[in-house]
Amino acid sequence: MKELKLYYMEGCPFCKKVRKFIEKNPELKVEELDIADEKNHKDLLEIGGQDQVPMLTIDGKPMYESGDIVKFLKDQLA
Protein backbone atom coordinates (compact mmCIF):
# COMPACT_ATOMS: atom_id res chain seq x y z
CA MET A 1 0.00 0.00 0.00
CA LYS A 2 1.44 3.34 -1.04
CA GLU A 3 1.51 6.24 1.41
CA LEU A 4 -0.73 8.95 -0.04
CA LYS A 5 -1.02 12.55 1.14
CA LEU A 6 -3.12 15.25 -0.47
CA TYR A 7 -2.19 18.90 0.01
CA TYR A 8 -5.21 21.07 -0.56
CA MET A 9 -6.69 24.51 0.04
CA GLU A 10 -10.28 25.31 1.03
CA GLY A 11 -12.15 27.05 -1.80
CA CYS A 12 -9.98 25.54 -4.54
CA PRO A 13 -12.27 23.87 -7.11
CA PHE A 14 -9.53 21.51 -8.34
CA CYS A 15 -8.94 20.35 -4.77
CA LYS A 16 -12.66 19.93 -4.27
CA LYS A 17 -12.85 17.61 -7.28
CA VAL A 18 -10.09 15.38 -5.89
CA ARG A 19 -11.45 15.42 -2.33
CA LYS A 20 -14.92 14.50 -3.55
CA PHE A 21 -13.46 11.49 -5.36
CA ILE A 22 -11.66 10.43 -2.18
CA GLU A 23 -14.84 10.89 -0.14
CA LYS A 24 -16.79 8.68 -2.55
CA ASN A 25 -14.11 6.00 -2.34
CA PRO A 26 -13.37 5.55 1.37
CA GLU A 27 -11.22 2.49 0.66
CA LEU A 28 -8.61 4.96 -0.54
CA LYS A 29 -6.45 5.87 2.41
CA VAL A 30 -5.32 9.42 1.78
CA GLU A 31 -4.15 11.82 4.46
CA GLU A 32 -5.51 15.29 3.64
CA LEU A 33 -3.39 18.29 4.58
CA ASP A 34 -4.74 21.84 4.49
CA ILE A 35 -2.08 24.31 3.38
CA ALA A 36 -3.71 26.99 5.55
CA ASP A 37 -1.49 25.32 8.15
CA GLU A 38 1.91 26.95 7.56
CA LYS A 39 3.77 23.68 8.20
CA ASN A 40 1.81 21.98 5.41
CA HIS A 41 2.37 24.92 3.07
CA LYS A 42 6.09 24.76 3.75
CA ASP A 43 6.10 21.00 3.08
CA LEU A 44 4.18 21.55 -0.20
CA LEU A 45 6.88 23.92 -1.42
CA GLU A 46 9.75 21.77 -0.21
CA ILE A 47 8.42 18.52 -1.65
CA GLY A 48 6.83 19.76 -4.87
CA GLY A 49 8.67 22.98 -5.61
CA GLN A 50 5.48 24.61 -6.90
CA ASP A 51 3.03 26.71 -4.92
CA GLN A 52 0.06 24.93 -6.44
CA VAL A 53 -2.68 22.68 -5.09
CA PRO A 54 -3.87 20.03 -5.25
CA MET A 55 -0.67 18.07 -4.88
CA LEU A 56 -0.65 14.37 -4.07
CA THR A 57 2.44 12.72 -2.68
CA ILE A 58 2.90 9.05 -3.46
CA ASP A 59 5.46 7.58 -1.08
CA GLY A 60 6.84 11.10 -0.82
CA LYS A 61 6.94 11.82 -4.56
CA PRO A 62 4.85 14.77 -5.76
CA MET A 63 2.09 14.71 -8.37
CA TYR A 64 0.29 17.86 -9.47
CA GLU A 65 -2.76 18.29 -11.74
CA SER A 66 -6.16 17.25 -10.42
CA GLY A 67 -6.96 15.20 -13.54
CA ASP A 68 -3.77 13.16 -13.20
CA ILE A 69 -4.36 12.74 -9.46
CA VAL A 70 -7.92 11.43 -9.94
CA LYS A 71 -6.71 9.09 -12.69
CA PHE A 72 -3.95 7.79 -10.41
CA LEU A 73 -6.45 7.25 -7.56
CA LYS A 74 -8.87 5.45 -9.91
CA ASP A 75 -6.07 3.12 -10.93
CA GLN A 76 -5.48 2.28 -7.25
CA LEU A 77 -9.05 0.99 -7.04
CA ALA A 78 -8.68 -1.35 -10.01
Ligand X SMILES: N[C@@H](CCC(=O)N[C@@H](CS)C(=O)NCC(=O)O)C(=O)O
Total binding residues toward ligand X, as defined by CB under 6 A: 10
- Contact between 63 and ligand X per CB under 6 A: no
Q: Please answer whether residues 33 and 8 qualify as being in contact, where contact means their C-beta atoms are separated by less than 8 angstroms.
A: yes
Query: Rounded distance, CA 70 to CA 78, Å?
Result: 13
Rounded to 10 deg, the angle between the 66-77 and 13-24 helix axes is 10
Q: 5 near 60, Cβ under 8 Å?
A: no
* Residue 12 makes contact with ligand X by CB under 6 A: yes
51 touches ligand X by CB under 6 A: yes
Segment contacting ligand X by CB under 6 A, of 26-34, 36-44, 46-54, 70-78: 46-54
Positions that interact with ligand X (CB under 6 A): 9, 12, 14, 51-54, 65-67
